[in-house]
A and B are shown apart, each in its own frame.
Chain A
Amino acid sequence: MTGYRIAADIGGTFTDLACLAPDGRLSTRKVPSTPEDYATAIVEATAELAATEGAGGLRFDEVLHASTVATNAILESKGARTALITTRGFRDVLELRRIRVPRLYEPLYEKPAPLVPRRRRYELTERIDARGNVLVPLDADELETLIDTIAGAEVDAVAVCFLHAHVNPAHEAQVAERLRARLPGAFISVSSEVLPEIREYERTSTTVANAYIGPVVARYLRSLSDRLRAAGQDGPLKMMQSSGGVQQIETIIAKPATVVESGPAAGVVGAARMGALAGYGDIITFDMGGTTAKAAMIEGGRISSTSEYEVGGGISLSSQLVKGGGYALKLPVIDVSEVGAGGGSIVRIDAAGALRVGPDSAGSVPGPLCYGKGGTEPTVTDANVVLGYLNPTSLAGGTVPVDAEAARRAFAEDIAPHLGADVHAAAYGVHQLANVTMMRAVKAVSTYRGRDPRDFTLFCFGGNGGVHGAMIARELEMSRVVVPPAAGVYSAVGLLWADAEASRSRAFLAPLDGASLTRAEVALAAMEDEVRAELDDPKASYHWSADLRYAGQAFELAVDLPRGTALAEGLGAIRAAFESEHLRTYGHLLDDKRVQIVTLRVRGAIAAPVPGSMTLAARSPAAPGQTRPVWFGDAHGLCDTPVIGRGELTDSPRQGPAIVEEYEGTTVVPPEATVRRDQFDNIVIDFAQEGRT
């Protein structure tokens, strides 16, 4: 063991790496992704870091990984050729979905194509009722004939989902056994194994998505593992799950639907750990890149998660409400709300003469106009250049040249005249409008859940997080903003901090009373045994929870369960915890209402071996004494603003305005805020209470 660990986060444009030395030194790299074989960028950058960090080649104790491979397979329809077996009468459940569509007033709307076309959805004679009784036994001969048919359809994966299989999995188990025996090369995904929870569409969709990406994820992870081994990196390869914990790739390969939101999860985990370490209390994360901005909530050190999620649904502005645009995936995922606004969002004047920002994006190609790579329409990044927030000559330590005059011209000629504003006011308007759109992501994880954003610290990362974070915080009257070191590659940093994690869930519909809790305890202990076997580590800790609701409601709230004491004795405390969460989330309680248990959950975790602090190797510090004119709105006009490096900040607050420029990104400090650097190298921006408007 060398004590060195490395993490790689693959995005569509860049692959980000972070390497942590035993003494807490953090080194980062941002290299172009290699879409023809994503492993290439990782293997090469890992070799380069190994050579740089340890003279003569270093073996990393483990390689941690986050990737969009699973999401992309779904978004690009490049998953496995999959078959689905259902209860007779129900092969169209997958395609009927929940009916609701994500947009109103759109007669030309087209539903997303199902991941398994109707021709490969097969029905089998069998039926189980809601209590688990077998009404119609499974016909074994019919099953064999069906497997013949499926074998003839040349599929790579088979999903199985029968009605009420979460209550009685016997029929599914019988089918799975025969499929595994007769189609050994196919990936088999069974609903009672993947998601033993009530609601047939969500369970079918999750099981199908798991099957659809199964072979793709397996091929990708095995290839990556082989190539790392060939390069001498034979430590364990682990991948981030959407829930925020990492897991050995063999476990991921068995249930790949758990890694669909792997990248966004990693950054949030990093924020949670840094927040706890540096004592920033409750946090809302703000992760802004080129095309989207994302937010998540961390409360009492705990990351807010959900199981109401759709992959490929485009923008999940208020994901709980606007459903139907993607594919339901009902597995634990960090509750990340996302809006389609980023640096690349295109600025236009609409038919009524109003200013519009996005949702179209110039993406990474052609990118913002000022990058000079063929972009013809101004973007949010161009506005930020006009305002002086971004360097007028180059970004990313000089690697991306910037044509500030092109951006200014576009605003002066195409945008400002329509608004009756000058070029700065127009660009500032674009900046504000982008902020308003992105604030909806922040609100979706706070006010929509009964939380007041003013009680939170805004923790900003991603390529543009530091550019917009302070202004968004000001709008929402949040008094503190933190921009961590290596913010531009923060998902890779977060990977280094993630717990190894395994979890189980089980449907358990019962009234919340002593007798149910006694039965639940038996079920939870069995689930914990499964998790224990999967983690196989005596240092693992375990956590129990349940989803509860008032009888009659259709949506549940998660409540912790005490572990280690007789569960039934905690009845009063469990009910009180549910009521307190209901009151906080929805603003009211129901008197005399029965409470139900719906789902039981067990999570096991092993803490990551990280040193007590991290220090970032400084790169390309700004030249001292620089200033440039920066526009902070009518109230301030053009301010001659110091441009500094992170290292020039100290723990004593310095009055804004200021621009902090680094290799990984830029942080904008407005005039009415102060800025300092804490002992963990975080940039901390504070708004004085009286400075609020």
Chain B
Amino acid sequence: MTQRIDPILLEVLKNGFEAIADEMALILMRTAHSSIVRDAMDYSTALCNDRGEIIAQGVTTPMHLGSFHDAMLFLIDHFAGRIRPGDVFVGNDPYLIKGQHLPDIYVIEPIFDADARLCAWATTIAHHADVGGLVPGSNSIGATEIHQEGLRLPFLKLVENGVENDTLMQVVAANVRVPDQVLGDLRAQMAAARAGRMGFEALLARHGSDKLAAYGDALQDQAEKMSRAAIAEIPDGTYHFIDHIDGLGANPQPIPLELTLTVAETEITADWTGTSAQVRGGINAPLSFAKSNVYAALRSIMPADVPNCHGYTRPITVTAPEGTLVNCTYPAPCGARGITGYRIIDCVFGALAEALPDRVTADTTGGSSLPSFGGQHGGAPFVFSECVMGVWGATSRHDGQSGVPHMGSNQANVPIEMIEADYPLRIESYGFVPDTGGPGEYRGGVSIRRSWRALADDTYFGIRSDKADFPPHGLFGGGSGQPAQTQILSDGAARPVPMLATLPETLSAGSLVDHRMAGGGGYGDPLARDPARVAEDLADGLITPDHARTAYGVVVADPTLGTIDLAATETLRASLRA
């Protein structure tokens, strides 16, 4: 049935869908129990149509959202004929259901119209505090196969005909280190999905399912049209980019990612041929996750008003050979695959810099660092993970931002006072590190440092971080940011911790973990930086007088006043240019 689409009602319904997805996100955040969901907000919500295509997403985590589609296609196909009102589905496994990694658990509720016809889905995904496996937090980089990473869930009915599956809940509870948090967060996801279903049912009662379906499709078409218009503005051509993840463990071997981006009129293809084979460590990304990150990166260079629904991804094709880091196959482990997702986005920006110099930043710090701590506290096990963020490269217009999430996520930090009230940890510093932003006409964001002191013996520590050997690159003459670094200070000695630690560290009480993210890349020639901006950075302690001289060719007249000797600066810059 074709239906005439009233452009006004289309906009009305688009807003209606988005309001529902946002309401789901709000309910999930406010009822969640783990700090990674409630404080760091590592979760996503979306409404999908009956075919599992996103029609609206909450203001949540971009890198999650583009991968819903593959999981939904699997779910719809696998349960065909067995999807009924009162059902709620749960699942997490990358290979069994085209999921993402084991900590990311989907909770999904189908939505039916008055005639019991399936017409939409309320979908949620949340990063759980723990799903068992080798290490607390279930982000083991040292895992060599997925069976070491924890509880694998195919899609199952968590609720069937309105009755919660107590057996399944007990299995989950028995297989995770912090069952209160995991079950609490699953219930928060169920509450969000229920709110999404009820919101959509109100629209169904008003407009009927045929009309909603037609308008949902029209919204996809509108997004596709705008997406194509945005791609058409990128000069046709082939853009190539190679980058490296530092590597696994204490003796890291660089892991290459190779991207060939082909823009042809209104379509774009991202081909990852040349990328490393999948690795014996938990950073492998399923193809659905790789696609999701390419979508997120390309969405970021489109105008703000493109609807964030499946339609905008239609002109985008992502290909990668099987068995690679970005299209891993069973039984490759993927617990810490987030790092690869962030790098996929950074590679897309790297490839597009030449074509869109005013739309991208110089390289970023590579996504959140993810430290995990675990052990015993007050007679009970504890697990604490957080996301340390984040630093961006500079742009053609302004300095790089510091204290921002990576483009692929939109997470928050955890209040220090909350951590210290709940866990045997003390935060000793949290702030900027001077002289770390990549020099440029616009400076890269300065690095962020955070340090944790263990207050209990036998505290487990692991970290997923990045960009020590391959620090964030600059653009158009801008310099690299300073590399990342982690060390443990204990008994007066310092020992380095690998960026991607494959072996858990055990901390004694009083040990200090000191982590520094990489600084962002600079943009443009540092010798062209306005000396007044250099003076501002000096006054704010973001650079030292030495750095002003060596990186920017700026001579400080009086270090206490932060004044610049302009004449000496001219001379020095002229000699440096020569």
Q: In whole angstroms, what is the CA distance A93 to B417 when docked? A: 12
A440 contacts B by Cβ under 8 Å: yes
Kindly list chain A residues whose C-beta atoms are within 8 Å of the C-beta of B26: 318, 320-321, 448
Q: Return chain A residues, CB-CB under 8 Å to B34.
A: 552
Q: Does A200 contact B416, Cβ atoms closer than 8 Å?
A: yes
The answer to whether B401 touches A90 (Cβ under 8 A) is no
Q: A92-B432, A107-B301, A587-B194 are in contact. Are A129 and B29 (CB under 8 A)?
A: no
Q: Mark B126-168, 1 if CB is under 8 A from A, else 0.
A: 0000000000000000000000000000000000000000000
Asked if A198 contacts B403 (CB within 8 A), the reply is no
A353 contacts across to B, CB distance below 8 A: 7
1/0 contact trace for A89-115 toward B, CB 8 Å?
A: 111110111111111111111110000
Which of A296-304, A429-437, A558-566 binds B? A429-437
Contact status A118-B540, CB under 8 Å: yes
Chain A residues numbered 540-573 whose CB sits less than 8 Å from any CB in chain B: 550, 552-555
B23 touches A92 (CB 8 A): no
B79 interface residue per 8 A CB criterion: no
Is B303 an interface residue, CB under 8 A from the partner?
A: yes
Q: Assuming the A-B contacts A130-B420, A555-B30, are A100 and B410 also in contact, with contact meaning beta carbons closer than 8 angstroms in the complex?
A: yes
Across the interface, do A436 and B401 meet the contact criterion of CB distance under 8 Å? Answer: no
Decide if A623 is an interface residue (CB 8 Å cutoff).
no
Tell me if B80 counts as interface (CB < 8 A to partner A): no
Query: Given A448-B23, A588-B191, A100 and B415 touching (CB < 8 A)?
Result: no
Taken residue by residue from 422 to 442, chain A's Cβ proximity to chain B (1 for < 8 Å, 0 otherwise) reads as 000000010011001101100
Do A321 and B22 touch (CB < 8 A)?
A: yes
**What residues of chain B lie closer than 8 Å to A89, measured between beta carbons?**
428-431
In the complex, whether B457 has a CB less than 8 A from a CB of chain A is: no
Cα-based distance from A87 to B215 in the complex (angstroms):
55
Residue of A99, A198, A322, A350 touching B404 (CB-CB under 8 A):
A99
Check: B473 CB closer than 8 A to any chain A CB. no
- Quote the shortest CB–CB distance from A578 to chain B (angstroms): 13
> Does B540 lie within 8 Å of A119, measured CB to CB?
yes
Partner of B390, one of A91, A99, A432: A99
A533 contacts chain B at the CB level, 8 A cutoff: no
Q: How many residues of B contact A (CB 8 A)?
A: 86
In the assembled complex, A246 has its CB within 8 A of some CB on chain B:
no
Check B401 against A110 for contact (C-beta < 8 Å).
yes
Q: Which one of B180-188, B269-277, B550-558 contacts A?
A: B180-188
A437 and chain B: residue at smallest CB distance: B15
Closest chain-A Cβ to B56's Cβ sits at a distance in Å of 13
Interface residues of A in 581-629 (CB under 8 A from B): 585-588, 590, 593
| Chain B residues whose CB sits within 8 angstroms of the CB of A110 once the complex forms | 398, 401
**Residues of B362-392 contacting chain A, CB below 8 A:** 389-390, 392
| CB–CB B417/A198 < 8 A | yes
CB distance from A427 to the nearest CB of B (A): 11
B33 at interface by CB-CB < 8 Å: yes
Chain A positions within 8 Å of B412 at CB level: 98-100, 323
- How far is A108 from B19 in the complex, measured between Cα atoms in Å? 25
Contact B418 A198 (CB under 8 A): yes
In the assembled complex, the Cα of A317 lies from the Cα of B11 at a distance in Å of: 17
Query: What residues on B are CB-neighbors of A440 within 8 Å?
Result: 15, 19
Contact of A554 among B222, B229, B418, B542 (CB under 8 A): B418
Which A residues are in CB contact (< 8 Å) with B411? Answer: 99-100
User: Which residues of A, 507-528, contact B by the 8 Å Cβ criterion?
Assistant: 509
- The answer to whether B22 touches A97 (Cβ under 8 A) is no
Contact B430 A590 (CB under 8 A): no
A-B contact pairs, 7 of them (CB 8 A): A91-B431, A107-B301, A447-B23, A447-B199, A553-B32, A586-B30, A590-B187
Which A residues have a C-beta under 8 Å from some C-beta of B? 89-93, 95-111, 117-119, 129-130, 163-164, 166, 198-202, 317-318, 320-323, 350-356, 419, 429, 432-433, 436-437, 439-440, 443, 447-448, 509, 550, 552-555, 585-588, 590, 593, 693
Residues of B within 8 A of A (CB): 7-8, 10-12, 15-16, 19, 22-23, 25-27, 29-35, 38-39, 41, 58-59, 62, 180-181, 184, 187, 190-191, 194-195, 199, 206, 222, 225-226, 229, 296, 299-305, 308, 349, 359-361, 389-390, 392, 395, 397-398, 401-405, 407, 410-413, 415-418, 420-421, 426, 428-432, 448, 539-542
Can you list the 7 inter-chain pairs with the closest CB atoms, starting with the nearest? A92-B431, A429-B8, A89-B429, A118-B540, A552-B33, A96-B403, A554-B38
Besides the contacts A119-B541, A322-B59, A433-B12, what 8 more A-B pairs have beta carbons closer than 8 Å? A92-B403, A96-B431, A97-B403, A99-B403, A100-B41, A107-B349, A107-B361, A555-B29
